[in-house]
Structures are given as structure tokens and as C-alpha cells.
Amino acid sequence: MSEMAPMPGMTHSMPMRVYYEDTDAAGIVYYANYLKFAERGRTEMMRSLGFAHSRIAEETGIVFTVRRCSADYRAAARLDDALTVETRIAEIGAATLSLDQQIRRNGETIVALDVLVACVGRDSRPRRVPRSLRAALMQPAPIKPPIVQKTP
């Protein structure tokens, strides 16, 4: 039986812009790039809590890997669109994080993702979510990150 329990719904928001490299010949974001946008959102959420992936791996030997992901593509983003990647903690399990991610343009969800991230050791075996990270993720207040944009 799963040890997952509903969390208060901490949300992290990351603004970003669509660059030429993100699009196809028609100037529409290539579908796989939304997965990259979501990954950046999860990474910046962790970083804003003081848990850079590189530091966690170095100090504990723990890394995070996507175990399951489903995406509902509702509308296309285009070159130069300003987007927001919102990441909400849905549940925290013993060795997993369940996340609800929304990629939005002008407040409208254009892609909705449900992501299950597994916490594993260097040997790829499951490891418990570190206590300090669990405590930080259980914060009910939204976190306001600095604006982070990819440099060309």
C-alpha cells in the first residue's frame, strides 16, 4: 500500500519565454519541448527551496528520475510567447513525488502534466525522500522564485 498522503498544494511558478530553438519550422513549440519546460520548472522549484540537484546528488547520492508522465496538450505556444510553468506538489510518498504541472500563457493552461518522480540512489534503487526536502515541500505558502531565463 502506498504511503502517499495529500499535501497542502505548495506551488512554484517559473516565468519563461519561447525561443526560436524551441519551435518547429512553423514557429510552433515542438511537443517534446514542453517536457523540457516542465523539467526546468521542477528543477527551479527544488533550487528555490535550497535543494539543487547537483548538491543533493553530491551530498546524499540521491537523484530524481521521472517514473511516469502524462501530458494533455490543449493549445500551441508560439515563438516569443511568454509562458509560466506552475509546479504543484500533489503528494509525497516514501520515495516519490507526485506533481501537477501547468504550462500557461496569459493565465490559460496550454499543457497540463501529471508527473511522478522517483527518488533513487546511484544504484537506481528506490531511496526515501530526504526528511529535509520533505519538510520544505510541505510548506503551504507559494514560493516566489527569481526570474530565470535561458541565456542564448
Q: Is 24 annotated as catalytic?
A: yes
d(CA 44, CA 52): 8
CATH number of 5-137: 3.10.129.10
From 24, 81, 114, 123, active-site residue? 24
pLDDT given for residue 137 in this prediction: 87
Instruction: Give the residue, 7 or 11, on which the prediction is more confident.
Output: 11
> Do 86 and 13 contact (CB within 8 A), yes or no?
yes
- DSSP, collapsed to helix, strand or coil, labels residue 131 as helix
pLDDT in tens, 26-64: 999 999 999 999 999 999 999 998 899 999 999 999 999
Mean pLDDT of 108-119: 98
Instruction: Give the cell for residue 7.
Output: 499535501
Backbone angles phi, psi at 10, to 5 degrees: -50, 135
Average pLDDT of the chain?
88
Confidence of residue 136 (pLDDT cuts 50, 70, 90): confident
Nearest Cα to Cα of residue 96 among 115, 71, 70 = 115
d(CA 85, CA 122): 29
Domain residue extents for the chain: 5-137
d(CA 28, CA 101): 20
